[in-house]
Amino acid sequence: MKTNIAVFASGRGSNFLAIAKAIKSGKLKKVNLALLVCDNPNAPVIFKAKKLKIKVVLVRPDIFSTKKDFEARIIQHLKENKIGLIVLAGFMRMLSSDFVRAYKNKIMNIHPSLLPAFKGKEGIKDAYEYGVKVTGVTVHFVDEKVDHGSIILQKEVRIEERETLESLEEKIHKIEHKLYPEAIKLVINSKLKVEGRRVLARNW
């Protein structure tokens, strides 16, 4: 039986597309990409989803008087489409504590650094400007703090001596597109268990 997933995105949708391709190619089995949830009517990801004939739900926050009402509408769509896993892929809004608790250990996020280092939306730039030799990509469960939840997978990316910010961004994104489907596969196949902030592989 396949698990219905919803990808939340606000922008270009490169990770959304990577996930969709992994499903279509058979690398990601037991997964049905049932829904794209987007908060930005001008986001290119919407056109990518429509081209792939994936259902799009546009929920604009500006038409709701409160964040609670905005999230209630999203939850309504999630329930209607029997969503079992939420995948954040460039969704530029903080989810409330109530939302996160309602979907505990069922919301994933990807971040372009080796968390807990370089949290926030400029993770690649911050690591580059700080001068570290190694950065990377983290996929983690979402909790009530920013870029803080239990880590599912990480992959290192070395910053070379003559690296530019643009070349580093390109390297990071390539890793993201491989790592996110792998992490989804682990979660869907229930090969993980969460103990506090630790994510452990099950012993079979």
Catalytic residue set: 111
Alpha-helix runs per DSSP H in the chain: 14-25, 44-51, 67-80, 97-102, 123-130, 165-188
Which candidate, 91, 85, 129, 126, places its Cα nearest to that of 107? 85
Please answer whether residues 37 and 85 qualify as being in contact, where contact means their C-beta atoms are separated by less than 8 angstroms. Answer: no
Cβ contacts of residue 176 below 8 Å, gap of 6+? 14, 15, 18, 110, 112, 137
Q: What secondary structure does DSSP assign to 130-176, as a single string? A: HT-SEEEEEEEE--SSTT-S-EEEEEEEE--TT--HHHHHHHHHHHH
- Determine the Cα–Cα distance for residues 157 and 172; give it in Å rounded to an integer: 7
Query: Would you call the peptide bond into 181 cis, given omega within 30 degrees of 0 as the criterion?
Result: no
